[in-house]
Structure 1
Amino acid sequence: MLDHKSDIETLRRDLAAAYQLIAHLGMDDGIYTHISARLPDGPDGARRFLLNPFGLRFDEVTASNLVTVDETGAVVDDPYGAGVNAAGFTIHSAVHMARHDAVCVLHTHTEAGVAVSSVKEGLLSLNQWSAQFHNRIAFHAYEGIALNLDERARIVADLGDKFIMFLRNHGTLVLGRSIAEAVKYTINLERSCKAQIAALGMGLTPDVLPDDVAEHTAGQYARSYDAVELNGASDPEWEAILRLLRRKAPAFEQ
Protein backbone atom coordinates (compact mmCIF):
# COMPACT_ATOMS: atom_id res chain seq x y z
CA MET A 1 0.00 0.00 0.00
CA LEU A 2 1.23 3.46 -0.83
CA ASP A 3 1.92 5.49 2.29
CA HIS A 4 4.57 8.08 1.46
CA LYS A 5 4.25 11.48 -0.17
CA SER A 6 6.71 10.51 -2.89
CA ASP A 7 4.65 7.40 -3.70
CA ILE A 8 1.50 9.50 -4.09
CA GLU A 9 3.32 11.99 -6.29
CA THR A 10 4.50 9.11 -8.48
CA LEU A 11 0.97 7.75 -8.62
CA ARG A 12 -0.36 11.13 -9.75
CA ARG A 13 2.39 11.43 -12.35
CA ASP A 14 1.77 7.95 -13.71
CA LEU A 15 -1.99 8.45 -13.87
CA ALA A 16 -1.56 11.73 -15.73
CA ALA A 17 0.86 9.94 -18.06
CA ALA A 18 -1.76 7.27 -18.73
CA TYR A 19 -4.31 9.92 -19.72
CA GLN A 20 -1.83 11.63 -21.99
CA LEU A 21 -0.75 8.39 -23.66
CA ILE A 22 -4.33 7.29 -24.35
CA ALA A 23 -4.91 10.71 -25.95
CA HIS A 24 -1.65 10.49 -27.91
CA LEU A 25 -2.71 7.09 -29.30
CA GLY A 26 -6.16 8.39 -30.28
CA MET A 27 -7.92 6.07 -27.84
CA ASP A 28 -9.82 8.74 -25.90
CA ASP A 29 -13.48 9.68 -26.40
CA GLY A 30 -13.74 13.43 -25.99
CA ILE A 31 -14.40 14.21 -22.33
CA TYR A 32 -15.76 10.71 -21.64
CA THR A 33 -14.29 7.47 -20.25
CA HIS A 34 -11.92 7.42 -17.32
CA ILE A 35 -8.73 6.07 -15.85
CA SER A 36 -8.65 5.84 -12.06
CA ALA A 37 -6.03 4.98 -9.47
CA ARG A 38 -6.46 3.89 -5.88
CA LEU A 39 -4.93 6.11 -3.21
CA PRO A 40 -4.09 5.12 0.36
CA ASP A 41 -7.16 5.02 2.58
CA GLY A 42 -8.17 8.29 4.22
CA PRO A 43 -7.64 9.05 7.93
CA ASP A 44 -11.09 7.64 8.70
CA GLY A 45 -10.40 4.47 6.70
CA ALA A 46 -12.44 5.59 3.70
CA ARG A 47 -11.24 4.32 0.36
CA ARG A 48 -10.18 7.05 -2.04
CA PHE A 49 -9.18 7.18 -5.67
CA LEU A 50 -8.08 9.63 -8.33
CA LEU A 51 -10.18 10.45 -11.39
CA ASN A 52 -10.04 13.01 -14.17
CA PRO A 53 -11.99 16.28 -13.78
CA PHE A 54 -15.23 16.22 -15.71
CA GLY A 55 -15.06 18.33 -18.85
CA LEU A 56 -11.34 18.00 -19.52
CA ARG A 57 -10.02 16.10 -22.50
CA PHE A 58 -7.43 13.46 -21.70
CA ASP A 59 -4.68 15.63 -23.16
CA GLU A 60 -5.55 18.32 -20.59
CA VAL A 61 -5.13 16.07 -17.55
CA THR A 62 -2.06 16.72 -15.40
CA ALA A 63 -0.80 15.37 -12.11
CA SER A 64 -2.04 18.43 -10.25
CA ASN A 65 -5.61 18.65 -11.57
CA LEU A 66 -6.67 15.07 -10.79
CA VAL A 67 -9.71 14.85 -8.49
CA THR A 68 -9.79 12.76 -5.31
CA VAL A 69 -13.12 11.07 -4.53
CA ASP A 70 -14.13 8.59 -1.84
CA GLU A 71 -16.07 5.35 -2.19
CA THR A 72 -19.43 7.17 -1.95
CA GLY A 73 -18.57 9.49 -4.82
CA ALA A 74 -18.03 12.48 -2.54
CA VAL A 75 -15.31 14.81 -3.78
CA VAL A 76 -12.45 15.04 -1.29
CA ASP A 77 -10.15 17.30 -3.31
CA ASP A 78 -10.94 19.03 -6.60
CA PRO A 79 -8.20 21.39 -7.82
CA TYR A 80 -9.96 22.07 -11.13
CA GLY A 81 -13.40 22.61 -9.59
CA ALA A 82 -15.54 20.66 -12.06
CA GLY A 83 -16.23 17.47 -10.10
CA VAL A 84 -16.29 14.08 -11.79
CA ASN A 85 -18.55 12.20 -14.19
CA ALA A 86 -21.21 10.21 -12.31
CA ALA A 87 -21.10 7.29 -14.76
CA GLY A 88 -17.34 7.12 -14.38
CA PHE A 89 -17.72 6.89 -10.63
CA THR A 90 -20.24 4.03 -10.92
CA ILE A 91 -17.93 1.73 -12.85
CA HIS A 92 -14.65 2.61 -11.20
CA SER A 93 -15.88 2.64 -7.62
CA ALA A 94 -17.39 -0.81 -8.12
CA VAL A 95 -14.03 -2.23 -9.07
CA HIS A 96 -11.91 -0.34 -6.55
CA MET A 97 -14.15 -1.31 -3.62
CA ALA A 98 -14.05 -4.99 -4.55
CA ARG A 99 -10.63 -5.57 -6.10
CA HIS A 100 -7.89 -4.45 -3.76
CA ASP A 101 -5.32 -6.02 -6.08
CA ALA A 102 -6.14 -3.38 -8.70
CA VAL A 103 -4.35 -0.06 -8.32
CA CYS A 104 -5.62 1.18 -11.69
CA VAL A 105 -8.84 0.81 -13.69
CA LEU A 106 -8.76 1.95 -17.31
CA HIS A 107 -11.95 2.24 -19.36
CA THR A 108 -12.04 3.08 -23.08
CA HIS A 109 -14.56 3.47 -25.90
CA THR A 110 -12.29 2.94 -28.90
CA GLU A 111 -13.84 2.05 -32.24
CA ALA A 112 -12.02 -1.28 -32.30
CA GLY A 113 -12.81 -2.10 -28.67
CA VAL A 114 -16.48 -1.19 -29.04
CA ALA A 115 -16.66 -3.24 -32.26
CA VAL A 116 -15.27 -6.39 -30.67
CA SER A 117 -17.40 -5.85 -27.55
CA SER A 118 -20.44 -5.83 -29.86
CA VAL A 119 -20.00 -9.34 -31.28
CA LYS A 120 -20.89 -12.49 -29.37
CA GLU A 121 -17.58 -14.22 -30.16
CA GLY A 122 -15.56 -11.48 -28.46
CA LEU A 123 -11.81 -11.53 -28.94
CA LEU A 124 -10.37 -14.49 -30.85
CA SER A 125 -6.84 -15.81 -30.29
CA LEU A 126 -5.67 -14.92 -33.77
CA ASN A 127 -2.17 -13.66 -33.01
CA GLN A 128 0.46 -13.09 -30.34
CA TRP A 129 -1.23 -9.94 -29.02
CA SER A 130 -4.64 -11.52 -28.55
CA ALA A 131 -3.20 -14.79 -27.20
CA GLN A 132 -2.14 -12.78 -24.14
CA PHE A 133 -5.82 -12.60 -23.19
CA HIS A 134 -6.75 -16.23 -23.86
CA ASN A 135 -9.30 -17.39 -21.24
CA ARG A 136 -8.62 -14.18 -19.32
CA ILE A 137 -11.54 -11.98 -20.42
CA ALA A 138 -14.75 -11.35 -18.50
CA PHE A 139 -18.00 -9.98 -19.97
CA HIS A 140 -20.69 -7.68 -18.62
CA ALA A 141 -24.01 -7.16 -20.42
CA TYR A 142 -25.00 -3.64 -21.42
CA GLU A 143 -27.54 -2.02 -19.09
CA GLY A 144 -27.54 1.53 -20.46
CA ILE A 145 -25.36 4.47 -19.43
CA ALA A 146 -23.82 3.46 -16.10
CA LEU A 147 -25.68 5.77 -13.72
CA ASN A 148 -27.39 3.10 -11.61
CA LEU A 149 -25.32 2.32 -8.52
CA ASP A 150 -27.03 -1.07 -8.29
CA GLU A 151 -25.11 -2.09 -11.42
CA ARG A 152 -21.87 -2.06 -9.42
CA ALA A 153 -22.56 -5.44 -7.84
CA ARG A 154 -23.22 -7.00 -11.23
CA ILE A 155 -20.03 -5.53 -12.71
CA VAL A 156 -18.00 -6.96 -9.83
CA ALA A 157 -19.68 -10.36 -10.06
CA ASP A 158 -19.08 -10.60 -13.81
CA LEU A 159 -15.48 -9.44 -13.48
CA GLY A 160 -14.56 -12.04 -10.86
CA ASP A 161 -10.79 -12.29 -10.52
CA LYS A 162 -9.99 -11.28 -14.10
CA PHE A 163 -8.14 -8.14 -15.13
CA ILE A 164 -9.78 -7.69 -18.55
CA MET A 165 -13.48 -7.16 -19.23
CA PHE A 166 -15.51 -6.45 -22.32
CA LEU A 167 -18.47 -4.27 -21.45
CA ARG A 168 -20.84 -5.65 -24.08
CA ASN A 169 -21.87 -3.12 -26.73
CA HIS A 170 -19.93 -0.47 -24.81
CA GLY A 171 -16.14 -0.84 -24.65
CA THR A 172 -13.35 -2.30 -22.57
CA LEU A 173 -12.39 -2.24 -18.91
CA VAL A 174 -8.83 -3.09 -17.86
CA LEU A 175 -7.36 -3.47 -14.37
CA GLY A 176 -3.72 -3.25 -13.41
CA ARG A 177 -1.69 -3.93 -10.30
CA SER A 178 0.00 -0.70 -11.32
CA ILE A 179 -0.91 2.07 -13.71
CA ALA A 180 1.85 0.88 -16.02
CA GLU A 181 0.41 -2.63 -16.16
CA ALA A 182 -3.10 -1.35 -16.96
CA VAL A 183 -1.68 0.78 -19.77
CA LYS A 184 0.29 -2.10 -21.26
CA TYR A 185 -2.75 -4.38 -21.15
CA THR A 186 -4.84 -1.68 -22.81
CA ILE A 187 -2.36 -1.08 -25.62
CA ASN A 188 -2.16 -4.78 -26.44
CA LEU A 189 -5.93 -5.24 -26.16
CA GLU A 190 -6.48 -2.39 -28.62
CA ARG A 191 -3.93 -3.86 -31.02
CA SER A 192 -5.67 -7.23 -30.72
CA CYS A 193 -9.07 -5.75 -31.53
CA LYS A 194 -7.71 -3.82 -34.51
CA ALA A 195 -5.89 -6.89 -35.84
CA GLN A 196 -9.03 -9.02 -35.50
CA ILE A 197 -11.13 -6.50 -37.41
CA ALA A 198 -8.47 -6.31 -40.13
CA ALA A 199 -8.07 -10.09 -40.38
CA LEU A 200 -11.78 -10.85 -40.54
CA GLY A 201 -12.29 -7.99 -42.95
CA MET A 202 -10.10 -9.66 -45.57
CA GLY A 203 -12.80 -12.23 -46.31
CA LEU A 204 -10.36 -15.11 -45.89
CA THR A 205 -10.39 -17.94 -43.36
CA PRO A 206 -9.24 -16.87 -39.87
CA ASP A 207 -6.50 -19.08 -38.41
CA VAL A 208 -7.35 -19.24 -34.71
CA LEU A 209 -4.48 -20.44 -32.53
CA PRO A 210 -4.86 -23.84 -30.84
CA ASP A 211 -5.88 -23.55 -27.19
CA ASP A 212 -2.61 -24.98 -25.91
CA VAL A 213 -0.50 -22.54 -27.92
CA ALA A 214 -2.65 -19.58 -26.91
CA GLU A 215 -2.53 -20.60 -23.24
CA HIS A 216 1.24 -21.05 -23.39
CA THR A 217 1.62 -17.57 -24.88
CA ALA A 218 -0.70 -16.06 -22.26
CA GLY A 219 1.46 -17.64 -19.57
CA GLN A 220 4.60 -16.16 -21.09
CA TYR A 221 3.06 -12.69 -20.94
CA ALA A 222 1.85 -13.28 -17.39
CA ARG A 223 5.29 -14.30 -16.15
CA SER A 224 6.84 -11.23 -17.73
CA TYR A 225 4.30 -8.94 -16.06
CA ASP A 226 4.67 -10.76 -12.73
CA ALA A 227 8.42 -10.14 -12.83
CA VAL A 228 7.68 -6.41 -12.72
CA GLU A 229 4.64 -6.35 -10.43
CA LEU A 230 5.64 -9.03 -7.92
CA ASN A 231 9.41 -9.22 -8.12
CA GLY A 232 10.34 -5.59 -8.71
CA ALA A 233 12.01 -6.05 -12.08
CA SER A 234 12.61 -2.93 -14.15
CA ASP A 235 9.92 -1.92 -16.63
CA PRO A 236 11.66 -0.55 -19.73
CA GLU A 237 8.37 -0.33 -21.65
CA TRP A 238 6.86 2.08 -19.11
CA GLU A 239 10.07 4.09 -18.91
CA ALA A 240 10.00 4.44 -22.70
CA ILE A 241 6.40 5.69 -22.48
CA LEU A 242 7.40 8.31 -19.91
CA ARG A 243 10.28 9.46 -22.14
CA LEU A 244 7.88 9.81 -25.07
CA LEU A 245 5.44 11.89 -23.02
CA ARG A 246 8.17 14.12 -21.64
CA ARG A 247 8.92 15.05 -25.25
CA LYS A 248 5.35 15.22 -26.55
CA ALA A 249 3.37 16.48 -23.52
CA PRO A 250 5.79 17.64 -20.82
CA ALA A 251 3.08 19.49 -18.86
CA PHE A 252 1.58 16.16 -17.68
CA GLU A 253 3.95 16.09 -14.68
CA GLN A 254 2.93 19.52 -13.41
Structure 2
Amino acid sequence: IKVNVLGAVVEQGSTSFAPDARSFSLHAAIYAARPDARCIVRLHTPATAAVSAMRCGVLPISRAALLLGDVAYFDFHGEVEDEADRVELQKCLGPTCKILVLRNHGVLALGDTAEEAFYSIFHLQAACEIQVSALASAGGAENLIVLERAKHRPHEMGSVRWAGSTFGPMQKSRLGEHEFEALMRMLDNLGYRTGYTYRYPFVQEKSKPKSDVLIPATVTAFVFEEEAAPVPALRQHAQKQQKEKTRWLNTPNTYMKVNVAEEQQGSQKTKTTWLKADEVEKGSSGTPIRIENPNQFVPLYTDPQEVLEMRNKNRQDVKSAGPQSQLLASVIADTSRSPV
Protein backbone atom coordinates (compact mmCIF):
# COMPACT_ATOMS: atom_id res chain seq x y z
CA ILE A 1 0.00 0.00 0.00
CA LYS A 2 1.23 3.53 -0.80
CA VAL A 3 0.21 6.67 1.12
CA ASN A 4 1.25 10.30 1.05
CA VAL A 5 2.58 12.41 3.94
CA LEU A 6 -0.95 13.19 5.12
CA GLY A 7 -1.83 9.49 5.36
CA ALA A 8 -4.17 9.41 2.35
CA VAL A 9 -4.00 6.24 0.26
CA VAL A 10 -2.37 6.80 -3.13
CA GLU A 11 -2.16 3.18 -4.32
CA GLN A 12 -4.21 0.47 -2.64
CA GLY A 13 -1.97 -2.31 -3.91
CA SER A 14 -2.96 -5.90 -3.20
CA THR A 15 -4.78 -5.24 0.09
CA SER A 16 -8.20 -3.87 0.91
CA PHE A 17 -7.24 -2.56 4.36
CA ALA A 18 -6.35 1.02 5.28
CA PRO A 19 -3.29 2.10 7.32
CA ASP A 20 -3.49 3.07 10.98
CA ALA A 21 -3.70 6.88 10.92
CA ARG A 22 -2.58 7.33 14.55
CA SER A 23 0.50 5.15 14.13
CA PHE A 24 1.39 6.73 10.81
CA SER A 25 1.33 10.23 12.30
CA LEU A 26 4.76 9.61 13.86
CA HIS A 27 6.20 8.41 10.54
CA ALA A 28 4.68 11.35 8.69
CA ALA A 29 6.23 13.80 11.15
CA ILE A 30 9.66 12.17 10.74
CA TYR A 31 9.44 12.20 6.94
CA ALA A 32 8.51 15.88 7.06
CA ALA A 33 11.34 16.76 9.46
CA ARG A 34 14.00 14.60 7.77
CA PRO A 35 13.74 14.59 3.95
CA ASP A 36 16.88 12.41 3.77
CA ALA A 37 15.06 9.50 5.45
CA ARG A 38 13.50 7.21 2.85
CA CYS A 39 12.83 4.20 5.07
CA ILE A 40 11.70 3.91 8.70
CA VAL A 41 11.52 0.70 10.72
CA ARG A 42 9.89 0.61 14.16
CA LEU A 43 10.06 -2.19 16.74
CA HIS A 44 8.14 -2.93 19.94
CA THR A 45 9.88 -6.15 20.96
CA PRO A 46 10.25 -6.97 24.68
CA ALA A 47 13.96 -6.12 24.67
CA THR A 48 13.55 -2.76 22.91
CA ALA A 49 10.52 -1.83 25.02
CA ALA A 50 12.46 -2.66 28.19
CA VAL A 51 15.42 -0.47 27.18
CA SER A 52 13.08 2.37 26.22
CA ALA A 53 11.78 2.34 29.80
CA MET A 54 15.27 2.62 31.35
CA ARG A 55 16.58 5.99 32.50
CA CYS A 56 20.07 5.09 31.30
CA GLY A 57 18.87 4.46 27.75
CA VAL A 58 21.02 2.46 25.35
CA LEU A 59 24.37 1.81 27.03
CA PRO A 60 27.55 1.36 24.93
CA ILE A 61 28.49 -1.99 26.41
CA SER A 62 28.67 -4.08 23.22
CA ARG A 63 29.85 -3.84 19.64
CA ALA A 64 26.25 -3.72 18.41
CA ALA A 65 25.60 -0.66 20.57
CA LEU A 66 28.73 1.08 19.27
CA LEU A 67 27.59 0.57 15.67
CA LEU A 68 24.43 2.59 16.31
CA GLY A 69 26.12 5.96 16.54
CA ASP A 70 24.11 8.83 18.00
CA VAL A 71 20.86 7.87 19.75
CA ALA A 72 17.98 10.31 20.32
CA TYR A 73 15.18 10.01 22.88
CA PHE A 74 11.61 11.26 22.54
CA ASP A 75 8.64 11.20 24.94
CA PHE A 76 6.04 9.53 22.74
CA HIS A 77 2.37 9.73 23.77
CA GLY A 78 0.83 7.53 21.09
CA GLU A 79 0.53 10.05 18.25
CA VAL A 80 2.12 13.22 16.93
CA GLU A 81 -0.67 15.60 15.95
CA ASP A 82 0.20 18.88 17.66
CA GLU A 83 2.67 21.30 16.16
CA ALA A 84 4.56 21.47 19.45
CA ASP A 85 5.15 17.69 19.36
CA ARG A 86 6.47 17.91 15.81
CA VAL A 87 8.88 20.68 16.72
CA GLU A 88 10.09 18.71 19.73
CA LEU A 89 10.56 15.61 17.55
CA GLN A 90 12.57 17.60 15.02
CA LYS A 91 14.82 18.95 17.80
CA CYS A 92 15.41 15.45 19.17
CA LEU A 93 16.34 13.94 15.83
CA GLY A 94 18.52 16.74 14.59
CA PRO A 95 20.03 16.65 11.10
CA THR A 96 22.06 13.42 11.35
CA CYS A 97 20.68 11.14 14.07
CA LYS A 98 19.15 7.91 12.72
CA ILE A 99 18.25 6.06 15.94
CA LEU A 100 15.25 7.21 17.96
CA VAL A 101 14.14 5.69 21.26
CA LEU A 102 10.46 6.27 22.06
CA ARG A 103 10.18 6.41 25.83
CA ASN A 104 8.20 3.47 27.28
CA HIS A 105 7.16 2.45 23.77
CA GLY A 106 9.90 1.06 21.51
CA VAL A 107 12.63 2.07 19.09
CA LEU A 108 12.82 3.43 15.58
CA ALA A 109 15.55 3.43 12.89
CA LEU A 110 15.92 5.71 9.87
CA GLY A 111 17.79 5.00 6.69
CA ASP A 112 18.54 6.37 3.28
CA THR A 113 17.73 2.90 1.93
CA ALA A 114 15.86 -0.13 3.20
CA GLU A 115 19.18 -1.94 3.62
CA GLU A 116 20.55 0.81 5.88
CA ALA A 117 17.40 0.95 8.01
CA PHE A 118 17.41 -2.82 8.43
CA TYR A 119 21.12 -2.76 9.34
CA SER A 120 20.48 -0.20 12.10
CA ILE A 121 17.38 -1.87 13.52
CA PHE A 122 19.08 -5.29 13.49
CA HIS A 123 22.02 -4.07 15.58
CA LEU A 124 19.70 -2.03 17.80
CA GLN A 125 17.68 -5.13 18.61
CA ALA A 126 20.89 -7.05 19.37
CA ALA A 127 22.20 -4.23 21.59
CA CYS A 128 18.94 -4.13 23.57
CA GLU A 129 18.97 -7.89 24.12
CA ILE A 130 22.58 -7.77 25.35
CA GLN A 131 21.82 -4.86 27.68
CA VAL A 132 18.75 -6.52 29.20
CA SER A 133 20.71 -9.74 29.83
CA ALA A 134 23.69 -7.85 31.24
CA LEU A 135 21.59 -5.80 33.65
CA ALA A 136 19.76 -8.90 34.82
CA SER A 137 23.08 -10.63 35.53
CA ALA A 138 25.03 -7.68 36.98
CA GLY A 139 22.24 -6.30 39.13
CA GLY A 140 22.56 -2.69 38.01
CA ALA A 141 24.13 -0.29 35.53
CA GLU A 142 26.86 0.65 38.02
CA ASN A 143 28.30 -2.88 37.75
CA LEU A 144 28.69 -2.73 33.96
CA ILE A 145 31.77 -1.68 32.00
CA VAL A 146 30.74 1.18 29.73
CA LEU A 147 32.87 1.73 26.64
CA GLU A 148 33.86 5.11 25.28
CA ARG A 149 32.31 5.71 21.87
CA ALA A 150 35.19 7.87 20.63
CA LYS A 151 37.79 5.27 21.60
CA HIS A 152 36.04 2.04 20.66
CA ARG A 153 34.09 3.15 17.62
CA PRO A 154 34.10 0.25 15.10
CA HIS A 155 34.18 0.65 11.34
CA GLU A 156 30.66 0.46 10.01
CA MET A 157 31.33 1.18 6.35
CA GLY A 158 34.30 0.64 4.07
CA SER A 159 35.59 -0.40 0.67
CA VAL A 160 34.58 -3.87 -0.49
CA ARG A 161 36.14 -5.79 -3.38
CA TRP A 162 34.12 -7.75 -5.90
CA ALA A 163 33.28 -11.30 -4.79
CA GLY A 164 35.78 -11.09 -1.91
CA SER A 165 38.78 -11.28 -4.23
CA THR A 166 42.15 -10.21 -2.89
CA PHE A 167 43.15 -8.42 -6.06
CA GLY A 168 40.47 -6.46 -7.84
CA PRO A 169 38.87 -3.07 -8.29
CA MET A 170 37.80 -1.32 -5.11
CA GLN A 171 34.04 -0.81 -4.93
CA LYS A 172 32.32 1.42 -2.39
CA SER A 173 29.37 -0.29 -0.73
CA ARG A 174 26.46 1.26 1.11
CA LEU A 175 25.72 0.51 4.71
CA GLY A 176 23.98 -2.83 5.21
CA GLU A 177 23.89 -3.87 1.55
CA HIS A 178 25.90 -7.07 1.92
CA GLU A 179 24.01 -8.23 5.02
CA PHE A 180 20.62 -7.51 3.47
CA GLU A 181 21.53 -9.21 0.19
CA ALA A 182 22.73 -12.27 2.11
CA LEU A 183 19.34 -12.58 3.82
CA MET A 184 17.49 -12.08 0.52
CA ARG A 185 19.66 -14.75 -1.06
CA MET A 186 18.74 -17.14 1.73
CA LEU A 187 15.04 -16.52 1.10
CA ASP A 188 15.47 -17.00 -2.64
CA ASN A 189 17.30 -20.26 -2.06
CA LEU A 190 14.38 -21.43 0.08
CA GLY A 191 12.02 -20.75 -2.82
CA TYR A 192 10.23 -17.59 -1.62
CA ARG A 193 11.02 -15.58 -4.79
CA THR A 194 11.63 -12.20 -3.20
CA GLY A 195 12.32 -10.50 -6.53
CA TYR A 196 15.18 -8.56 -4.96
CA THR A 197 17.65 -7.02 -7.41
CA TYR A 198 21.15 -7.93 -6.30
CA ARG A 199 23.85 -5.33 -6.67
CA TYR A 200 26.61 -7.79 -5.78
CA PRO A 201 25.99 -11.10 -7.56
CA PHE A 202 26.91 -14.29 -5.77
CA VAL A 203 29.11 -15.51 -8.64
CA GLN A 204 30.93 -13.26 -11.06
CA GLU A 205 30.82 -14.60 -14.61
CA LYS A 206 33.97 -14.41 -16.69
CA SER A 207 33.81 -12.48 -19.92
CA LYS A 208 33.90 -14.80 -22.94
CA PRO A 209 35.18 -13.50 -26.29
CA LYS A 210 33.28 -16.25 -28.13
CA SER A 211 30.14 -18.14 -27.38
CA ASP A 212 30.35 -21.82 -26.50
CA VAL A 213 28.24 -22.82 -29.49
CA LEU A 214 30.78 -21.31 -31.91
CA ILE A 215 33.54 -23.70 -30.82
CA PRO A 216 32.76 -27.41 -31.39
CA ALA A 217 33.59 -29.86 -28.66
CA THR A 218 36.88 -31.72 -29.10
CA VAL A 219 35.81 -34.69 -26.96
CA THR A 220 32.32 -36.07 -26.55
CA ALA A 221 31.56 -38.31 -23.61
CA PHE A 222 28.53 -40.57 -23.71
CA VAL A 223 29.01 -42.23 -20.32
CA PHE A 224 29.65 -40.89 -16.86
CA GLU A 225 33.00 -41.30 -15.20
CA GLU A 226 33.25 -44.06 -12.64
CA GLU A 227 33.08 -42.90 -9.08
CA ALA A 228 36.28 -43.29 -7.12
CA ALA A 229 34.48 -43.37 -3.77
CA PRO A 230 33.20 -46.75 -2.50
CA VAL A 231 29.62 -47.54 -3.43
CA PRO A 232 27.28 -48.12 -0.45
CA ALA A 233 25.94 -51.63 0.11
CA LEU A 234 22.33 -50.57 -0.46
CA ARG A 235 23.26 -49.03 -3.79
CA GLN A 236 25.16 -52.19 -4.79
CA HIS A 237 22.08 -54.26 -4.01
CA ALA A 238 19.90 -51.99 -6.14
CA GLN A 239 22.36 -52.21 -9.03
CA LYS A 240 22.44 -55.99 -8.72
CA GLN A 241 18.66 -56.16 -8.87
CA GLN A 242 18.62 -53.90 -11.91
CA LYS A 243 21.20 -56.10 -13.68
CA GLU A 244 19.18 -59.23 -12.89
CA LYS A 245 16.04 -57.63 -14.28
CA THR A 246 17.90 -56.59 -17.41
CA ARG A 247 19.22 -60.13 -17.86
CA TRP A 248 15.73 -61.55 -17.38
CA LEU A 249 14.15 -59.20 -19.90
CA ASN A 250 16.87 -59.89 -22.46
CA THR A 251 16.82 -63.67 -22.09
CA PRO A 252 16.27 -65.56 -25.39
CA ASN A 253 13.66 -67.82 -23.81
CA THR A 254 10.20 -67.24 -25.22
CA TYR A 255 7.11 -69.20 -24.35
CA MET A 256 4.08 -70.30 -26.34
CA LYS A 257 0.60 -71.16 -25.18
CA VAL A 258 -0.27 -74.59 -26.63
CA ASN A 259 -2.91 -77.27 -26.10
CA VAL A 260 -1.46 -80.63 -25.06
CA ALA A 261 -3.43 -83.91 -24.95
CA GLU A 262 -3.83 -85.51 -21.56
CA GLU A 263 -1.83 -88.64 -20.75
CA GLN A 264 -4.87 -90.76 -19.82
CA GLN A 265 -5.66 -93.55 -22.25
CA GLY A 266 -8.78 -93.13 -24.31
CA SER A 267 -9.19 -89.52 -23.27
CA GLN A 268 -9.49 -86.89 -25.96
CA LYS A 269 -9.32 -83.93 -23.61
CA THR A 270 -6.58 -81.35 -23.89
CA LYS A 271 -5.05 -79.02 -21.39
CA THR A 272 -3.51 -75.61 -21.93
CA THR A 273 0.10 -75.14 -20.91
CA TRP A 274 3.07 -72.91 -21.59
CA LEU A 275 6.18 -74.33 -23.22
CA LYS A 276 9.42 -72.86 -24.45
CA ALA A 277 9.39 -71.88 -28.08
CA ASP A 278 12.17 -74.35 -28.96
CA GLU A 279 10.30 -77.25 -27.30
CA VAL A 280 7.10 -76.76 -29.25
CA GLU A 281 6.61 -78.98 -32.29
CA LYS A 282 6.62 -77.29 -35.63
CA GLY A 283 3.06 -78.38 -36.36
CA SER A 284 1.72 -76.57 -33.32
CA SER A 285 0.30 -73.12 -33.75
CA GLY A 286 0.69 -70.21 -31.41
CA THR A 287 2.28 -66.84 -30.83
CA PRO A 288 5.52 -66.73 -28.84
CA ILE A 289 5.30 -64.37 -25.86
CA ARG A 290 8.23 -63.14 -23.84
CA ILE A 291 7.69 -63.40 -20.10
CA GLU A 292 8.76 -60.06 -18.63
CA ASN A 293 7.22 -60.46 -15.20
CA PRO A 294 7.62 -63.39 -12.80
CA ASN A 295 3.93 -62.97 -11.90
CA GLN A 296 2.83 -63.14 -15.52
CA PHE A 297 0.25 -65.87 -14.85
CA VAL A 298 -0.99 -64.60 -11.51
CA PRO A 299 -4.62 -63.33 -11.59
CA LEU A 300 -5.09 -59.59 -11.46
CA TYR A 301 -5.69 -57.72 -8.20
CA THR A 302 -3.91 -60.40 -6.18
CA ASP A 303 -1.70 -59.71 -3.21
CA PRO A 304 1.91 -60.51 -4.25
CA GLN A 305 2.77 -61.58 -0.70
CA GLU A 306 -0.02 -64.18 -0.68
CA VAL A 307 1.10 -65.47 -4.07
CA LEU A 308 4.66 -65.84 -2.81
CA GLU A 309 3.55 -67.71 0.31
CA MET A 310 1.34 -70.04 -1.73
CA ARG A 311 4.16 -70.67 -4.22
CA ASN A 312 6.63 -71.52 -1.46
CA LYS A 313 4.08 -73.79 0.17
CA ASN A 314 3.51 -75.68 -3.07
CA ARG A 315 7.23 -76.06 -3.64
CA GLN A 316 7.75 -77.49 -0.17
CA ASP A 317 5.11 -80.17 -0.93
CA VAL A 318 3.91 -80.42 2.64
CA LYS A 319 1.28 -83.13 2.90
CA SER A 320 -0.54 -84.18 6.05
CA ALA A 321 -3.51 -86.30 7.03
CA GLY A 322 -5.45 -83.23 7.99
CA PRO A 323 -6.48 -81.88 11.36
CA GLN A 324 -6.49 -84.29 14.28
CA SER A 325 -9.01 -84.27 17.11
CA GLN A 326 -7.74 -83.50 20.57
CA LEU A 327 -10.80 -84.77 22.46
CA LEU A 328 -9.36 -88.22 23.07
CA ALA A 329 -5.77 -87.10 23.46
CA SER A 330 -5.75 -87.84 27.21
CA VAL A 331 -7.52 -91.22 26.90
CA ILE A 332 -5.23 -94.23 26.90
CA ALA A 333 -6.63 -97.11 24.90
CA ASP A 334 -6.11 -100.59 26.32
CA THR A 335 -4.87 -102.70 23.45
CA SER A 336 -4.29 -105.84 25.54
CA ARG A 337 -6.90 -108.58 25.10
CA SER A 338 -8.11 -110.46 28.11
CA PRO A 339 -8.58 -114.24 27.75
CA VAL A 340 -12.17 -115.34 27.29
C-alpha distance 224-115 of structure 1, shift in aligned 2 (>3 A): farther
Q: Give yes or no for the alignment of 1:148 onto 2:85.
A: no
C-alpha distance 124-106 of structure 1, shift in aligned 2 (>3 A): same
Q: Give the alignment of 1:111-122 within 5 angstroms.
A: 111-122=46-57
Choose which of 35, 42, 62 in structure 2 pairs with 1:107: 42
Q: Give yes or no for the alignment of 1:127 onto 2:62.
A: yes
Amino acid in structure 1 at the alignment position of 2:37: A
Q: Give the alignment of 1:1-254 within 5 angstroms.
A: 67-79=1-13, 80-134=15-69, 136-143=70-77, 145-146=78-79, 148=81, 150=83, 151-161=85-95, 162-203=97-138, 205-214=143-152, 216-217=153-154, 220-221=155-156, 223-224=157-158, 232-233=172-173, 235-247=177-189, 250=192, 252-253=194-195
Q: Which runs of 4+ in 1 moved over 3 A?
A: 149-153, 251-254
Higher helix proportion: 1
Partners of 2:50 and 2:57 in 1: how far apart? 9
Conserved? CA contact 2:68–2:123, under 8 Å: no
Q: Percent identity?
A: 28
Conserved? CA contact 2:74–2:92, under 8 Å: yes
Amino acid in structure 2 at the alignment position of 1:156: Q
Conserved? CA contact 2:29–2:80, under 8 Å: no
Secondary structure of residue in 1 paired with 2:151 = helix
The structural deviation recorded for 1:248 is 5.0
Conserved? CA contact 2:80–2:86, under 8 Å: no
Conserved? CA contact 1:90–1:149, under 8 Å: no
Partners of 1:190 and 1:249 in 2: how far apart? 27
**Bigger RCO of structures 1 and 2 (CA < 8 A, at least 6 apart):** 1
- TM-score computed with the length of structure 2 as normaliser: 0.48
Amino acid in structure 1 at the alignment position of 2:178: P
The structural deviation recorded for 1:213 is 2.1
Conserved? CA contact 2:184–2:194, under 8 Å: no
Unaligned runs of 5+ in 1: 1-66
Conserved? CA contact 2:61–2:144, under 8 Å: yes
Unaligned runs of 5+ in 2: 162-170, 197-340
Structure ID, larger Rg = 2
C-alpha distance 97-248 of structure 1, shift in aligned 2 (>3 A): farther
